[in-house]
Amino acid sequence: MFNKLKRKSKKVAWDSEKLPRHIAIVLDGNGRWATKRALPRTAGHAAGAETFRKVATYCKNIGIEFLTVYAFSTENWKRPPDEVSKIMELLEKYLHEALEKMERDRVKMKFIGDISVLSPKLKALIAETEEVSKRFDGVQVNICLNYGSRDEILRAVDTYAKSLLRFSEYSDNINQGIISTQPSLTEESFSNLLYTANIPDPDLVIRPSGEYRLSNFLLWQSAYSEFYFTDVLWPDFNEKELDQAILTYQKRDRRFGGI
Ligand code: FPP
């Protein structure tokens, strides 16, 4: 069945039965968007937060199951302190509004990354948002905050190594044949040690703003994702751009290493 969406000048039609389950987006280009308009960079982040709201609503309406956005990386702390504070303020504002409109929007929200270093206020808002929204079963929106894929992988390896250490305490039992098997790591069990445990890998990764790199975003999870790059700056991204990305995705031949 084809879902025809009438736009101002042209029709965009994607197949509603072949939608990506999980779309991941690098929110990029906010600073350039603002600079082009002689505005402070932080105005670009505010506009970017509004675009995120719009795109998340659209994903929910068209039946996308998971939307993951890269909002703040482990490397973004290198930015001027004023800009970092403004992004954190915007997140607080966004979460306050999300909590107020939770019953109307019914979007499940999850935060991915090391949130332990965030302010107590932001951590409390994150905990409340996750708790209140966990009963919703439409789209799940994952916000990556203080997230870096290498950091995520190192943490998983560390957890696994520590589990082996605990296991070796029982080496006597192994020697006596009481415990005969060593823990073995599989792709599935390793995935379950990542922040994204229980979230399917992204089918489609979108990076706006004309940059062609992953920047430490979902390196493990995107092994077989389809990539879509566009020159549009994130604050200018909209439903029509997402339609275009989905259409492009649907034309790809996903073989996962087969033929
Ligand atoms: C990248 O653009 C954007 C960020 C590092 C911050 C994104 C944060 C928000 C949109 C704030 C709120 C987020 C949510 C999810 C509510 P850039 O600054 O690197 O742009 P540039 O490459 O043009 O400089």
CA 65 to centroid of chain Cα atoms: 12
End-to-end CA distance of the chain: 26
Look over the chain and give the mean of its residue pLDDT values, rounded to a whole number: 91
The pLDDT tens digits for 13-46 are: 899 999 999 999 999 999 999 999 999 999 999 9
The pLDDT tens digits for 159-181 are: 988 887 666 665 665 556 555 45
Residue 182 lies in a domain: no
Q: Which two tokens stand for residue 211?
A: 């940059």
Angle between helices 239-251 and 41-62 (to 10 degrees): 60
The pLDDT tens digits for 184-211 are: 789 999 999 999 999 999 999 999 999 9
pLDDT at 201: 98
- Say if residue 105's pLDDT is above 60: yes
Residue 170 lies in a domain: no
- Number of folded domains that form the chain: 1
Asked if 12 and 243 count as a contact pair (C-beta separation under 8 A), the reply is: yes
Asked if 205 and 215 count as a contact pair (C-beta separation under 8 A), the reply is: no
pLDDT at 39: 98
Residue 161 lies in a domain: no
Question: What is the CATH number for 122?
Answer: 3.40.1180.10
User: Residue 87: which domain range?
Assistant: 16-148+199-250
Residue 93 lies in a domain: yes
Residue 189 lies in a domain: no
Cα 29 to ligand 1 centre (Å) = 7
Q: Ligand 1 — pocket residues by CB below 6 A?
A: 27-32, 45, 48-49, 52, 69, 71-72, 76, 87, 90-91, 94, 143, 209
pLDDT at 182: 60
Residue partners of 40: CB distance under 8 A and separation at least 6? 34
- Say if residue 140's pLDDT is above 70: yes
Cα 49 to ligand 1 centre (Å) = 8
pLDDT confidence tier of residue 90, bands split at 50, 70 and 90:
very high
Residue 168 lies in a domain: no
Residue 77 lies in a domain: yes
Residue 207 lies in a domain: yes
pLDDT at 184: 76
Q: What Å distances lie between residue 243 and 102, 126, 203, CA to CA? A: 26, 30, 15
What mean pLDDT comes out for the span 208-224? 98
Higher pLDDT, 84 or 167: 84
The pLDDT tens digits for 143-161 are: 999 999 999 999 999 998 8
